Structure 1
Amino acid sequence: MKTRLLMLTALFNALFGTAAIAGEGEKVSYDAPAVSGINQDGATVNFADVYKKGPTVVFFYPKADTPGCTKQACSLRDAFADFSKQGVQVLGVSFDQAEAQKKFKDKFTLPYDLIADPEGKIAAAFKVEKMVKGLLNLAKRSCFLIKDGKVIWQDYAASTDKQAEDIKRVLAEAK
């Protein structure tokens, strides 16, 4: 019976992958995607230019101004002063249009750019899963830390209200 259970568990993990723990992420090292997108004000943001300014957090969220996405964005907003002291840049990305990003940014006084990715090109470059909910395409909540042009940490099961804590932990470990 125990052998059968182990075999079934192995088969399940092989077919569906293991469940990721929110906020845990994994240390990695690969070139950060050199993509660009339109921010909430309609300006083009070249990610490679942002990476050059210092460590960069790129987080993906399903939909602007929804409960989980608001918690994630506000977690990073509340830690933004601490991040700025360390030279950390923050970019938020979702499939929303620039107008929705602008409303979200203004409503919650988010101090960083929100990038509109309605076609999912930026998400695809970061290998962020696309979810379909009804008629909506949504980016799966994910987070990346980029340092010196390399992704050094990725979390495809990013947390919501503890996103900033996760980033602070990873930054401390990266020193």
Structure 2
Amino acid sequence: MKSITQIFSAVTATILTGGAHAEPLAVGASLPVVEQKNQDDQLVKLAEAGAKGYTLVYFYPKADTPGCTKQACSLRDSYTALTEKGVKIYGVSTDKVEAQKAFKEKYKLPFDLLADSDSKVVDAFGVPKNMGFSKRQAFLFKDGKLVWADQNASTEKQAEDVLKFLAGS
């Protein structure tokens, strides 16, 4: 028989994660076949977009909040170095299109931000959620296959971590 503490913990975890708990993608996994609208209300098909070269899909809890801004600006500030290595970047949060557009414009982010308000992308990648917000994580694919995953993505050093991986591969 389960203790009341075990039951309470399970119920609390279910409430905080919205009941969803998919397994995170493992190295070697294919880029999920999922699509979502970007900040300009245009549909982005991730598997097609990431079929060739490197594709970084990074997740953040909420647009225009301190940690998420640092993470996005880290990638913005290293955008030239990343694109010279052939990396395409997609940021994903559960924000709506309008919030993603405002975030991109405010910080002059040179990459697409996907408005995953229905969590299709978050769930396809197995990213945990807390009270509807995705956990900060990052996934790097090469030719559609996962080559690097950061389950506890950095805020200020997101770009540095990706570049460090690319330098060693």
Output the TM-score relative to the length of structure 2. 0.83
* 1:90-137 Cα distance to aligned partner (Å, 9 max, x none): 0000000000000000000000000000111100100000111xxxx1
What is the Cα deviation at residue 49 of structure 1? 2.1
Identical-residue share of aligned pairs (%): 52
Residues 18-47 of structure 1 show CA distances to partners (whole Å, capped at 9, x for unaligned) of xxxxxxxxx821111121110000000011
Q: For residue 147 of structure 2, what is the amino acid of its counterpart?
A: I
| 3-state DSSP of counterpart to 1:111 | coil
What is the alpha-carbon distance in structure 2 between the residues aligned to residue 50 and residue 104 of structure 1? 22
Cα separation, 2, equivalents of 1:38 and 1:83: 23
Rounded to whole Å, the distance in 2 between the matches of 1:32 and 1:48 is 5
Per-residue CA deviation, residues 41-86 of structure 1 (Å, 9 max, x unaligned), is 0000011222134201100000000000000000000010111111
- SS for the counterpart of 2:28 is strand
Q: d(CA) in 1 for partners of 2:44 and 2:139?
A: 17
Counterpart for residue 162 of structure 2: 167
Residue matched to 2:42: 43
Q: Does the Cα contact within 8 Å between 1:144 and 1:151 map onto a contact in 2? A: yes
Q: How does 1:105-144 map to 2 (within 5 A)?
A: 105-132=104-131, 137-144=132-139
Aligned to 1:67: 66
Matches within 5 A, 1:97-112: 97-112=96-111
CA–CA separation in structure 2 for the residues paired with 1:67 and 1:130: 18
Higher strand share: 1
Query: Partners in 2 of 1:68 and 1:48 — Cα distance?
Result: 28
Structure 1 residues not aligned, in runs of 5+: 1-26
> How big is the shift at 1:172?
1.4
Structure of larger gyration radius: 1
- For structure 2, the residue ranges without an aligned partner over 5 or more in a row are 1-25
Task: Tell which deviates more after alignment, 31-40 or 109-118.
Answer: 31-40
Counterpart for residue 28 of structure 1: 27
Q: Check if 1:145 corresponds to 2:140.
A: yes
Supply the AA of the counterpart residue of 2:108: T
Distance in 2 between residues matched to 1:143 and 1:62, nearest whole Å? 12
Q: Distance in 1 between matches of 2:117 and 2:103?
A: 15
- In structure 2, the residue matched to 1:77 is 76
CA RMSD of aligned residues (A): 1.4
Give me the whole-angstrom Cα distance separating, in 2, the residues matched to 1:41 and 1:53. 23
